[in-house]
């Protein structure tokens, strides 16, 4: 290497190290074999064979393959590739940050092309790390070329001893971590690791040391992706499947999947989205007096009114006040509907349904007073982090009990969604769910029938969470709430919707023509799902009313039984849970 001036080391492998160096031809890449390769005759022979194949057959525009191979006096091989720009994807991530989805797709397609070419020649790459991607041309939209590090990991019955494999464990597939040889399926897994790092700046599995990282590769689920990357979850989960048979069958299949990947206008989990900017709340402002209460702040809004926090004028007590929108307060039918919500809640009187204390009509001001909750909605909670399976079951059981009580007095909620389920803690510190917003409820009974009558064909509620018959504007019964609650439970467990679609309308309409995608056998956090949960969600999300659970009481009883069994049988082992908590923090 007397004519080369080494600049810096960029990669360490099990058989070679890679350096950037200056030469008379410009900046080049230099790979130098390890001494132990020379010391093992069989390994050395296979090294020579691989070098010969690399030098003569590996010519692909997306590959950086050696153009010159020399042998040093001590027997080490030196392979020179050039010219190169000197920028790697690792440099790009450090200087410019994570890639956006379109650029990650473009890079991924090109790398798949290169790997497919290698596999056609019987070579597995085995080290798909950002420092092995070289970038040429426009820094904003570079051409990507993969360093052909096929020499870093050998195939065959004999390989570099496990203790000497120097590829970082973050980039090894589960089978390589378990000591088995590399196969093309390992590169599919490696693509999942690489794409995750390009999108997030971090490999998906990285522990406190080699042993912990290997254990994570073998057992840990994919950590949650940041908001805006939900469309990548199915691709990455399949690439990073622990069993090779569950991954993409080839790089060409992965490449074609990447080409069809598009960001969803309706993300896979709506619960992560920030709340929309609140609309103007009429003339009410902080400090205004409404009845016996002084307004403090706007805390939310719904289709019919705004919700304020307020304080009683005479006693030290805070409440929430829901005020009908001014433009609706002049329409008698809307006033009746608004007042019927308060009556509906008061008909139930259940600990898991928000309490309404007073209903007032003062001129054009119509409002009701209710308890002020200090907790968070399931939408906010799921935005902050995935919710463990045992908590999901416990909270859904509480919601089902509340809705069963409502159904018992003839009240169908019709707008069950994460926004309308709030969780707070009681005096003992236990989580208590409250069902809110009966503003679009349907009430059966003579007294309220006229006030709350819905015309045939009128769709009320939130379409993303609706039962098929509700989407179509048909008459609904308690089974519509069963469907919506199961939809919420499904999304909390998987962090995806059971129906695919490029936009909101497609996601909503899919449920009219096909059954929900099965929930699967594990949660987003890798927790094993009891078969009872799988069956409950299959039934609850059925298009056919006759196949759904007969009542919300049945759902509540089923969830109670599941909860009791899960308390006896933990679903996630402690090491993985510990890693998850560290990752989340």
- SS3 of 85, please? coil
pLDDT at 204: 95
Rounded-to-10 torsion of CA 389, 391, 395, 396: 10
291 or 107, greater pLDDT: 107
Q: Which two tokens stand for residue 71?
A: 């042998």
The topology under which CATH files domain 87-263 is Transferase(Phosphotransferase); domain 1 (1.10.510)
How many angstroms separate the CA atoms of 350 and 369, rounded?
17
Active-site residue (options: 148, 187, 415, 481): 415
pLDDT at 540: 96
pLDDT digits over 558-583, tens only?
A: 999 999 998 876 554 445 555 555 55
Lowest-pLDDT choice from 22-31, 121-130, 370-379: 22-31
Rounded-to-10 torsion of CA 186, 192, 195, 197: -90
pLDDT at 345: 72
pLDDT-derived band at 549, boundaries 50, 70, 90: very high
How many angstroms separate the CA atoms of 457 and 440, rounded?
15
pLDDT digits over 39-91, tens only?
A: 666 555 655 555 555 544 445 777 776 667 777 777 777 777 766 776 889 98
Same fold, 87-263 and 376-584: yes
Return the sign of the alpha-carbon dihedral for residues 455, 457, 458, 464.
positive
Span 184-207, mean pLDDT? 94
Q: Which two tokens stand for residue 486?
A: 């199961």
Give the predicted TM-score (pTM) of the model: 0.52
> Spelled out in words, what is the top-level CATH class assigned to the domain 289-370?
alpha beta
User: For the domain bounded by 376-584, which CATH number is listed?
Assistant: 1.10.510.10
pLDDT at 436: 84
- Residue from 33, 179, 198, 55 nearest 123 by CA: 55
All structural domains of the chain with their residue ranges: 87-263, 289-370, 376-584
**What is the C-alpha radius of gyration for the chain, rounded to an integer number of angstroms?**
30
Rounded-to-10 torsion of CA 573, 576, 582, 584: -100
Q: Is 447 a catalytic residue?
A: no
Question: Which residue has tokens 């927790």?
Answer: 527
- Residue from 276, 441, 270, 274 nearest 353 by CA: 441
Q: Is it the case that residue 165 has pLDDT exceeding 60? A: no
- Residue from 176, 171, 209 nearest 192 by CA: 171
pLDDT at 291: 85
């Amino acid at each position: 290497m007397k004519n080369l001036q080494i600049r810096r080391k960029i990669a360490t492998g099990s058989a070679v190290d890679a350096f950037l160096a200056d030469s008379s031809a410009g900046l080049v890449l230099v790979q130098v074999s390890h001494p132990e390769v020379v010391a093992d005759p069989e390994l050395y022979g296979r090294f020579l064979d691989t070098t010969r194949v690399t030098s003569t057959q590996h010519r692909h525009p997306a590959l950086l393959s050696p153009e010159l191979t020399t042998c040093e006096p001590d027997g080490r091989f030196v392979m020179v590739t050039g010219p190169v720009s000197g920028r790697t994807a690792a440099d790009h991530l450090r200087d410019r940050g994570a890639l956006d989805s379109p650029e990650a797709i473009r890079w991924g397609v090109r790398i798949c092309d290169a790997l497919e070419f290698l596999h056609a020649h019987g070579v597995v790459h085995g080290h798909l790390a950002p420092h092995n991607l070289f970038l040429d041309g426009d820094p904003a939209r570079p051409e990507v070329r993969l360093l052909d590090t096929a020499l870093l990991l050998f195939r065959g019955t004999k390989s570099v001893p496990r203790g000497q494999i120097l590829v970082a464990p973050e980039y090894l597939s589960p089978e390589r971590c378990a000591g088995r040889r590399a196969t093309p399926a390992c590169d599919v897994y490696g693509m999942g690791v690489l794409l995750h790092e390009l999108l997030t700046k971090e490999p998906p599995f990285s522990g406190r040391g080699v042993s912990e990282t290997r254990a994570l590769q073998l057992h840990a689920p994919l950590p949650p992706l940041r908001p805006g990357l939900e469309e990548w979850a199915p691709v990455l989960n399949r690439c990073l499947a622990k069993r090779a048979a569950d991954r993409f069958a080839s790089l060409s299949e992965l490449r074609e999947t990447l080409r069809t990947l598009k960001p969803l206008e309706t993300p896979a989990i709506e619960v992560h989205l920030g709340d929309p900017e609140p609309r103007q709340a009429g003339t009410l402002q902080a400090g205004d007096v409404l009845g016996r209460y002084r307004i403090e702040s706007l805390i939310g809004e719904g289709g019919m009114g705004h919700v304020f926090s307020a304080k009683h004028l005479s006693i030290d007590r805070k409440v929430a006040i829901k005020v009908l929108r001014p433009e609706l307060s002049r329409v008698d039918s809307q006033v009746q509907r608004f007042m019927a919500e308060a009556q509906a809640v008061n008909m139930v009187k259940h600990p898991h349904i928000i309490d309404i204390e007073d209903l007032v009509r003062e001129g054009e001001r119509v409002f009701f007073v209710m308890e002020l909750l200090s907790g968070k909605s399931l939408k906010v909670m799921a935005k902050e982090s995935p919710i463990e399976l045992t908590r999901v079951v416990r909270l859904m059981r509480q919601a089902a009990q509340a809705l069963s009580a409502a159904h018992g007095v003839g009240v169908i909620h019709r707008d069950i969604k994460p926004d309308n389920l709030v969780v707070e803690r009681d005096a003992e510190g236990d989580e208590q769910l409250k069902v809110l917003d009966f503003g679009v409820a349907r009430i059966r009974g003579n007294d309220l029938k006229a006030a709350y009558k819905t015309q045939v064909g009128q769709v009320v509620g939130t379409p993303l969470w609706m039962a098929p018959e509700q989407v179509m504007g048909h008459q609904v019964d308690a089974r519509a709430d069963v469907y919506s609650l199961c939809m919420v439970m499904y999304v909390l467990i998987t962090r995806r919707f059971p129906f695919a679609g490029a936009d909101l309308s497609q996601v909503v309409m899919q449920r009219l023509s096909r059954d929900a995608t099965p929930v699967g056998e594990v949660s987003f956090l890798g927790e094993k799902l009891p078969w009872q949960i799988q069956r409950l969600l299959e039934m609850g999300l059925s298009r056919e009313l006759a196949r759904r659970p007969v009542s919300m009481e049945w759902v509540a009883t089923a969830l109670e039984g599941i909860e009791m069994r899960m308390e006896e049988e933990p679903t996630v082992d402690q090491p993985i849970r510990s890693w998850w908590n560290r990752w989340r923090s």
